[in-house]
Structure 1
């Protein structure tokens, strides 16, 4: 692995392009950074390329017949896009997949111990940490994982990832299919994990959740970065509010809506590239 210049970034995705098979281009010239200790959100509709970005970072594209056709991925001053998924996990990049994907027939504790696969030594302190964060998992440690509720299964998926001692946690739709009260609990737990020193890259369709957690955010549209900037600034952007937060565009003094994207995320990209009014793509997180 080779040295890189950007020591102030834990993760640096540079101009990445991804294709599935010979026909589908999923990402084009995508660049994303995560600073040490940062929380970065990636927003976008279905098909925007969010999950593909996480697969490229974690090294599992080939499992969906995908491949990088351009760009570089650097982690902790070393280039990692040529490494297999296992070596990326050992370097500190760990993904919580969409849909949780726990081992339904194993117990809660067996699922957690799977997260330490490939790590040297048996460290019960890791289990203690997970049970401290998720007391309900400790109470159900001997229960078959398939019998847990959806929220408990999501906690188990996050806990299993923590057993691998991540420095960067990749979360793919962590709020998917959960009730609002459970989402609030997951958000609180992710804040505590972050407080303990773990950086995060979160892919979410639920923009309100993602922007509440993140300090910086990117919006993907048709496989490209359409917008980027501090999460607080994107929360107030008319286009983001209309397309992803369910809000109304702000009115100008004359009563007419300010110009904004129309019916879909492709229009966010079109407006961004066609005018100088779009925000922040060049800002560093």
Structure 2
């Protein structure tokens, strides 16, 4: 008998073995997040930033590549790997962490926020992250909603993700739209140029069916305007210091990545550097009233 969360087609022994390998990696304490207050710019704002995929971390890649569905009742289907990175346990999503071994990201950060908000009722918080970190940031309020954490959700000012892959199906997207609307949460997804990660997992109707939801803020290789090629990005890596200032100078590692981007379009566009430059040079869309654009630029850059 298949349990909720299993993929909905007959699995061969090799597929089962691969899933066990993925799960064994995801039982480790791998997810990294940074929680801080920016006292100089907005003393009432807490920032929770999730780290993205480390390039040479096989554990992170196992998380990304586990594209099987996990079904959340009355919510929709979600990327199982991302859920496990956030804290999905073998018995699902108990409201409180009952494990004595693992310090799961969701429960640890939720408690940290509870403690900070209890000490200061004026505080609010935002969630952010790049790549895998963006996927986890976008999933965090979903689990808060499932657990009925309305007080925390009312304190959540916005979710801002950079280079975020797709995380769920259309039903999940509709559920999240209602959550965001109910609690007045701003959700902004930032995409730079040809970033291929923002286009996966695929949204075809036959095999996958993953869908983005919410608004998308798009920046091209001039951080505004029309789409340009990987060749231009390589040239720009040499001239941007003269164009925008020495602080934008790119090192040879990044220039090497640009060469890869010429051969495989979209690879180099996923690196955090261009997302940082996009927020600094391209501006941010639709800033909320309680957080100034200057605050956001300071926090994200």
- TM-score, with normalisation over the residues of structure 1? 0.30
Higher helix share: 2
Higher strand share: 1
- TM-score, with normalisation over the residues of structure 2? 0.29
Structure of greater relative contact order (alpha carbons < 8 Å, 6+ residues apart): 1
